[in-house]
Structure 1
Amino acid sequence: MRYFVEFSYFGKNYHGWQKQPNAITVQGVLEETFSTYLRETVELTGAGRTDAGVHAKQMYAHFESNAINDLQQTVYRLNAFLPADISLKKLHQVEESAHARFEAFERSYEYWIVQEKNPFYTESAHYVKVPLDIGKMNEAASLLLDHKDFECFSRSNTDVKTFLCEVKRAVWEVREDKLVFSITADRFLRNMVRAVVGTLLEVGMGKWDLSYVKTVLNSRDRSKAGASVPAKGLYLTSVLYPKKTLSAHG
């Protein structure tokens, strides 16, 4: 039978989502825990992959398993085995064809910035002490909504078939004691959000104007965009699926 698992994690201690030799990853820890508890080999397919140090407030993966009788109790027991920085939220029994990566139609990220030294955000936000023009940053962010090819923000030598993404929302806002950038799209390229934020910060600092941002977007050249900001400020906040995907078995 096929199941979707919804979970979250704080990425500081992990070398990203994807399992790899000689590194601790979220996928590796989850697969080991699931396999031990369910007493069978479990392999997870994630909705996407996050880089080392990136966090996820909502993430999904699917896996095959023998029948699980009590999904809620299984979540409770698996959480007891998992480290404190990974938390399972829910298990869904789904159709055998359901796919955590290919059926996701929308993903959202947040990037957190603090502008005053704050010990409580040392591991969870990027500290930028230079004054920022949020209005200009939002003007630059709006340019993303009318663009389709984001090769300029993609990690070099990435093996993808297309650099096309549909960005549906991109906005900066002040939330209490932090500055948050929210972005939603149908898909994201590797390193894309961190490169976008780095570019918009250059605008906010007054180093680049909107015309240069347009030049960057049209260049398809990663070297023209801003430097990637640290992973610790990035959060995958939402992954959306068609209603039928997660409600196939109630």
Structure 2
Amino acid sequence: MQYRRIALRVQYLGSAFHGWQRQAAHRSVQGVLEEAIASRAGHKVILHGAGRTDAGVHAAGQMAHFDTTSTIRPSDWSRVLNACLPEDVAVLASAEVPDSWHARFSATRRRYRYLILNRERPDVFWRLFSWHVRWPLQVERMSEALNSLLGEHSLEAFRCTGSKRAHSTVQVQEVLCQRLGEMVSIEVQASGFLYRMMRLLVGSLQVVGRGELSPEGFVRLWQQNDWSQMRTRYSAPPQGLCLTDVGYAADPFGQLFAHSPPFWVLPLAAPPPTLAPLAHSFG
């Protein structure tokens, strides 16, 4: 019996999921996708993801793979699955990959973006996709602190207990912290991410932005893993976080893959028209 390995690029809204990983008693992205694939393949499958997002975390470019004996053409899997998936999950592309290719272990980079709605009043339309922080944030200080993470370091300070990873060394490849009108966007690209690393990192950066921790204090915090510099260990809520991309040495989809991610994950040159200048928000 000949198996084919199929790679998928997946997009989902995390709001109604208890995370990526399959769970017996809760709705998960992996579980929903495995059920849909099995219904079309005619046999059970195990879907391997590039990363395990937490409950409430979104993805615009999650990667996954499964093995199947189905005769469905590899490029048709995206169309076949989208016909039976719920509205909060979509398969953007599908392709056959070599048996040696693995969605998680073959990845060379992952990129996350976190959005903070930084104004006095909340916004019901952004509630599912951002963290509402009502006090003004000094983005320049946050950017200075974030830049200190570039390179390969032990980031144990930004790992929650319960992680099964053997070490805390991470190669941080790119970082970006910028203001887009009333939105503060924090992006990190790294070789991998520790358990809840991004949420702990953003939680600490907003303390820097509030002026309660200096950029130098932030550096001491993560280099010495010394949380005594802060009154509490802040973890940003999940809804502002989105896995925007997973990269490989070669794109499994070649030139056939092209998609337009949601506007909140695009590298916006200017704030969306619905976002007023920040100066109008705290008056």
Residue 220 of structure 1: how far off its partner (Å): 3.0
Once residues 199 and 242 of structure 2 are traced to their aligned partners in structure 1, the CA distance between those partners, rounded to angstroms, is 11
1:188 aligns with 2:193: yes
Which amino acid in 2 is paired with 1:243? A
Which residue of structure 1 aligns with residue 87 of structure 2? Answer: 84
* Matching of residue 228 in structure 1 with residue 235 in structure 2: yes
Question: Identity, % of aligned pairs?
Answer: 33
Map 1:64-83 onto structure 2 (within 5 A). Answer: 64-83=67-86
Per the alignment, residue 119 of structure 1 pairs with 124
Task: For 1:195 and 1:219, locate their aligned partners in 2 and report how far apart those are by CA, in whole Å.
Answer: 15
Figure out how many residues of one structure are paired with residues of the other and give that number.
248
CA shift for structure 1 position 199: 0.6
**For residue 136 of structure 1, what is the aligned residue in structure 2?**
141
In structure 2, the residue corresponding to 1:195 is in which secondary structure? helix
CA distance in 2, matches of 1:94, 1:170: 30
Query: Which stretches in structure 1 are left out of the alignment for 5+ residues?
Result: none
Change (3 A) 1:95 1:125: same
CA contact (8 A) 2:142 2:215 kept: no
Within 5 Å, give how 1:147-186 maps onto structure 2.
148-186=153-191
Between 101-110 and 169-178, the greater mean CA deviation after superposition:
169-178
Q: What is residue 239 of structure 1 aligned with on the other side?
A: 246
**Deviations 1:141-186 (Å, cap 9, x if unpaired)?**
1111146000000011322111000111222112344211011101
Deviation of 1:107 after TM superposition, in Å, equals: 0.5
Instruction: Pick one of 21, 34, 49 that aligns with 2:52.
Output: 49
RMSD of equivalent CA atoms? 1.9
The aligned amino acid for 1:162 is H
1:168–1:185 Cα contact (<8 Å) kept: yes
Residues 98, 245 of structure 1: 8 Å contact kept: no
Task: Write the letter of the residue equivalent to 1:228.
Answer: S
Residue aligned with 1:122, SS: coil
Q: Is the 8 A contact 1:17 1:51 kept in 2?
A: yes
- In 2: Cα distance, 1:83 partner to 1:224 partner: 45
What's the secondary structure of 1:119's corresponding residue? coil
Instruction: Give the structure-1-normalised TM-score.
Output: 0.93
| TM-superposed deviation, 1:70 | 2.9
| Structure with more relative contact order (C-alpha pairs < 8 Å, separation 6 or more) | 1
TM-score by length of 2: 0.83
More displaced stretch, 209-218 vs 181-190 = 209-218
Distance 2:46 2:31 in 1: 9
Following superposition, the deviation at residue 212 of structure 1 comes to: 1.5
Post-superposition Cα deviations, 1:51-96, rounded to whole Å, max 9, x if no partner, equal 1110000011111001444334432221121111100011110111
| Structure 1 partner of 2:224 | 219
Q: Does 1:200 align with 2:208?
A: no
Aligned to 2:113: 110
Where do 5+ consecutive residues of structure 2 fail to align? 258-283
Name the residue aligned to 2:280. Answer: none
CA distance in 1: counterparts of 2:151 and 2:111, whole angstroms: 18
Give yes or no for contact 1:114–1:178 (8 Å, CA) kept in 2: yes
Q: Does 1:3 align with 2:12?
A: no
What is the SS of the residue equivalent to 1:232? Answer: helix
Check 1:37–1:67 CA distance in 2 against 1; reply closer, same or farther (3 A cut): closer
Contact 1:47 1:101 (8 Å CA) reproduced: yes
Shift of 1:222: 6.3
Higher normalized helix content (fraction of residues): 1
Partner AA of 1:24 in structure 2 = R
Q: Are residue 94 (structure 1) and residue 91 (structure 2) matched?
A: no
